[in-house]
Chains A and B, each alone.
Chain A
Amino acid sequence: MRAMTQASKLHTPRRRINRQWLFAYALLAPTLLLIFIFNVWPLVYSAYLSLQQYSLLFPIRRFVGLENYRFLFEDPEFIAALGRTLYFVVVSLALETTIGLAVALVLNERFFGRGLVRTIVLLPWAIPTIVNGVLWRWIYQPNFGALNGLLWQLGIIDEYVHWLGEPWRAMNMVILADAWHMIPFYTLMFLAGLQGIPDSLHEAARVDGAGWFRRFWHITLPLLRPILLVILVIRTIETFRVFDIIYALTRGGPGGGTTVVGYYAYEQAFSFADFGMGSAASMVITLSVLVLAVLYVKLLYRDELLH
């Protein structure tokens, strides 16, 4: 990065700088235009809509200030949805990080057929989210589903369970289905991180008499920290706005038990045709994610300075 800046300083004649600017802007124009029209403008307009009473059910569209936000934070359903989202984020990340790292550690060992196994574990991640949703809905099916059949045949349950029939259980089952789908992403990232750790470090520690656990704790884990941070922030952002799997499995039910903020905002806008409220709810999500995004860019930026 530094070398590059120096190089261009050294080798770009002064009189060509303006032409170079124009050339750069021309190359960037289509990308910037598309991002402006489809990302920046909608975001700004969404903020503007969130300050309006704008529902297809009411004839009058008018400016109401922060009224929509006040309504949101006084709505126990929205507060509950925020709580459920937080639960979804924290439990998903804890579960997926632990299992993803464990699988990566196993697949980092040398054994016969390792390449094939590494390919196989990728499969769940390649399945489209919506297909994953309907697939697990079939597995969880209360009367003929495979999960009930399997657990019953193994003698673990005496009678078939309505997996998605009760709010908390439904939430946990959604988290499990999503975890099966997303864990390969963690494994993939952790494996790449593990491959960057030189064997010599472990060898030296082994010679010094350090056991497996101590080597993991003092060598592997600290060296995985950068990639762990990246995974955590990407996944926090993704899980905070979770929608597809909820839509496919429960539609926010039973009794609103799996209604997370992303689904709440969708319902406000597209089930109740209330664009003002929908925008306000989505702005709350955006602001939360923005805080995380700034953190993310800062982390990457710091990394870049280090290299």
Chain B
Amino acid sequence: MMRYILSLLTVLMLWSLPATAQTGPLRIEITEGVIEPLPFAAPDFVSDSTTGAEFGRRIAEVIAADLTGTGLFREIQPEAFISRVTSFSSPVQYADWKAINAQALVTGAVSVDAGGQLVVRFRLYDVFAGQELGQGLQLVGTQDGWRRIAHKVADQIYSRITGEAPYFDSRVVYVAETGPKDQRIKRLAIMDYDGANVSYLTDSASIVLAPRFSPDGRQVLYTSYESGFPRIYVLQVGSAQRRVLEQQDGTMSFAPRFAPDGRRVVYSLSSGGNTDLYMMDIGSGTSTRLTNAPSIETAPSFSPDGSRIVFESDRSGSPQLYIMPSAGGEAQRISFGQGRYGTPVWSPRGDLIAFTKQSKGRFHIGVMRTDGSEERLLTASFLDEGPTWSPNGRVIMFTRETQGAQGSASLYSVDISGRNLRKVPTEAGGSDPSWSPLQD
């Protein structure tokens, strides 16, 4: 018996020996990487004319600023370049760019055609792989619109490298604020996402609040105290023409937001001391009531598919976030952390909800999943509020107000990872930003 067991063991050991020896290729698993900005080089776009060369320089600058501004890329300064790009069609000297650790390289050319139009071509290279990323692309536009062309090129580079949808060619509508806190002048303003090309949509005669872009970016909803009471207006961005949307005597309407179809608006209406949510069909002007509770319901925001609405309610005693079907009905509470939650905004990707949270005397901008899980606070300050999503759902812009009588409001942006918090340059103070969709 013993001998049998021994011989069996011996056979098993001998059998297992070849299994431990390696067969086929060596296999390793990499689970730890690094997170750091990707170094890229964007030399000035080449041109055969002086006008084109000037545009080439400015376009390369805007592209570099766009990419660097994401926090995901780091520009290699031109002083470090070893080889010069003198011709758009000549082959790239990969070794020269490898030597300065440029992992991505953008080359381009600018020319002005017979009609005075700007023609911009560019190519993107993966330097270490020694090959082009995607195809070369040509963009044509007016000379005035050179910044948009630059943004479009940057958008292409951004999405080719990250796989993320782009967002540089977008605009932001916000409330421009000037003057001291007790006599502040508020006007609606619109600008490129990076703070350039500011123009004002309203005068300073009355207080305006909470502008919101329509899904096509052509209209803006906002609340104005023009009549003495808060009322919702809709404004055409192109013509600056506006009309009042909701007008019931003795009521206040505010916090409007477009449905994803652009034909309906969900908003808050305060009547007889009670605030509830309503939905209005813009075409017919008829409103339907969505909530009917003695508590305050406000700050509604649609899910991107239009099926649900997230909003803020104090029905449990303190302001919390709830989700209900877009036609109204039973609401489900999703925020359960300590503190007060407000101004929820559904991400354009549909996976996250951004919100303002007040806890332990500080304000935060945070994100959570649509079931309330994985809450993550991204910022902390004396007063942060009013988040708005970039068109690709990767960046959040919000208002930050500083403390004291001299305190002022400015716009800030932060990546949804919590990195890359930065101030958005505006001419004066700014608050209540609303990010447009990507432009056509």
Report if A and B associate in a common complex. Answer: no
